[in-house]
Amino acid sequence: MDYIGQKNRRFVYPLWLRFFTLIAAVGAFFLFVDPSVLFSNSDPSLPWNEQGRILPKGRTPQFHLSEDQPKLTNVFRYKAQVEQDGQPQGRINFMIYPDGTVKGIWNGEYDRVDETHCLIMAASFTGNIDPTRKYIENGIEDPSKLYFITAGAYNVLETVPSTGKSRDVSGFAYLRGWLNSNYTAAGELVITQNKKTFETFSWAAFPFN
């Protein structure tokens, strides 16, 4: 009877062992998963949730354009003023290469509505086109437009004129937009410090040599 009782008895994990196992599991999770994903804005339309469209560094681009989309036979260069509520917020310069890669910068200075002066110290982004994303407006698809998205970082020096106080602000920068059949382009620049709150600037550009 003693043997049978011992055989059917379940092993009970000590409390300390349960706690250690939980800590180890949580540690392993954060080791392999970016913690910012847990706390970022999960709206699928936001650029950091589209970052999977950007090819990993070192991977050779192989894009297949449709007959309607503009062909990238040359390097196309663009520069444009970015705006927010009709007010200028610096300038962007970017290039779209024949292999589909896109590189650009944001520079200049501007004043916010609250009179804070912003000096763009550094801002750059890289990415690529994505022919698979379709442009749809009011339920109607336009197959001639070609989408592109980039990601990078920015650093802005903010100064309040009334107090003279300044601070450095850094975060993530995303330039994305649509290339039209006539090679004009339009889109937005999005900056965020934490991928929860963000600012959006609009722009439109013509290619230049």
pLDDT tens for 39-56 read 457 798 999 999 999 999
Q: How many domains does the chain have?
A: 1
pLDDT value of position 182: 96
Token digits of residue 65: 């354009």
Q: Tell me: pLDDT of 38 over 80.
A: no
- Quote the pTM value: 0.80
Per-residue tokens: 112: 């916010």
Look at residue 9 and tell me if it is in a domain. Answer: no
Q: Residue 74 is which amino acid?
A: N
Average pLDDT over residues 178-184: 97
The per-residue pLDDT of the chain, averaged, comes to 87
Tell me which of 1-15, 43-57, 98-112, 150-164 is least confident.
1-15
How far is it, in rounded angstroms, from Cα 27 to Cα 17? 15
Residues 193-209 have a mean pLDDT of 96
Whether 24 maps to a domain, the answer reads no
CATH code assigned at 51: 2.40.160.20
Alpha helix positions (H), the chain? 2-8, 15-32, 36-39
Domain of 162 in residue numbering reads as 41-208
Helix (H, G, I), strand (E, B) or coil at 145: coil
Strand 101-107 relative to strand 117-130: parallel, antiparallel, unpaired?
Answer: antiparallel
